[in-house]
Amino acid sequence: MNIDPLLAPSLLSADFLRLADELAFLKSSGADVVHVDVMDGHFVPNITIGIPVVEALKRETQLTLDCHLMISEPLKYAVDFVKAGADWVSIHQEADPHLHRTVYAIKNVGGRAGVALNPSTPIESLSDILGDLDFVLLMSVNPGFGGQSFIENTYNKLRCLDKIRQKNDHSFFIQIDGGVSVANAQALVEAGADCLVAGNAVFKAPNPTEAVKKIKAQMTKVCKS
């Protein structure tokens, strides 16, 4: 792809009592996108935040809101997330036998639709829907928690997906989520990633503003053709 790579800090690692301050910090530090992890305690073993919080975030920020739905039956809620202010919505392949229907439900109300794959889910499972997607999210940890270690096989999946994209002239962008840090940001962009999600590496850093700048510096070192 020929877009500048984007950094999407994940609010999962932010201070939930100070979300307005965290949004202001993201804006001033140069982050591109706000990643919102929605977990239902069913598809993943954790419960986080929902639609009312997304509405509140939308009132406070102009940054792109990226809602990663780690929920069962995403069709029930995906459109409501767009209506609440989500610009991008990703749903999990493993959670939805009707991906095409849900993807178009999101697009039809003006959202950009992505499908997320768990580390153990093959890319081939998306072969008949890649042309319909705005983005693909490759999980580089098992979804449910921040602060986990990056799974190295993600590089193979990423390179493979990037090749498929080039070969078929697809326009989706590729997002990587989990265990992203200053140490792997450059290599991930080199391997084909367009958007990196980072939770702990930003919000738990000693100096979060410096962390955003360092990760972005690594990402933009890569000159894409």
The nearest distance, CB 201 to ligand DX5, in angstroms, is 6
How far from chain centre, in Å, is Cα 55?
18
Q: Are 204 and 191 in contact (CB under 8 A)?
A: no
Using CB positions, name the residue nearest to Zn ion.
68
Selected binder of Zn ion within 177, 184, 202, 212 (CB under 5 A): 177
Active-site annotation, residues: 37, 177
Query: Which CB atom, from 148 or from 209, has the smaller least distance to ligand DX5?
Result: 148
The amino acid at residue 97 is P
Selected binder of ligand DX5 within 198, 211, 212, 215 (CB under 6 A): 198
Beta strands in 149-221 (DSSP E): 173-177, 195-198
Q: Are 63 and 36 in contact (CB under 8 A)?
A: no
User: Cα separation of 4 and 2, whole Å?
Assistant: 7
Helix runs in 51-181, H state only:
51-60, 78-84, 99-108, 154-168
* Six token digits for residue 151: 């799974």
The nearest distance, CB 90 to ligand DX5, in angstroms, is 9
Indicate which of ligand DX5, Zn ion, none lies near residue 5 (CB less than 5 to 8 Å, by partner kind): none
The nearest distance, CB 44 to ligand DX5, in angstroms, is 7
- What is the x/- site pattern for Zn ion, positions 51-90, by CB under 5 A? -----------------x----------------------
Does position 32 interact with Zn ion (CB under 5 A)? The reply is: no
Cα separation of the two ends of the chain: 8
User: Cα separation of 141 and 119, whole Å?
Assistant: 7
Query: Which CB atom, from 53 or from 164, has the smaller least distance to ligand DX5?
Result: 53
Contact footprint for ligand DX5 (CB under 6 A): 10, 12-13, 35, 37, 68, 141, 143-148, 177-180, 197-201
Contact footprint for Zn ion (CB under 5 A): 37, 68, 177
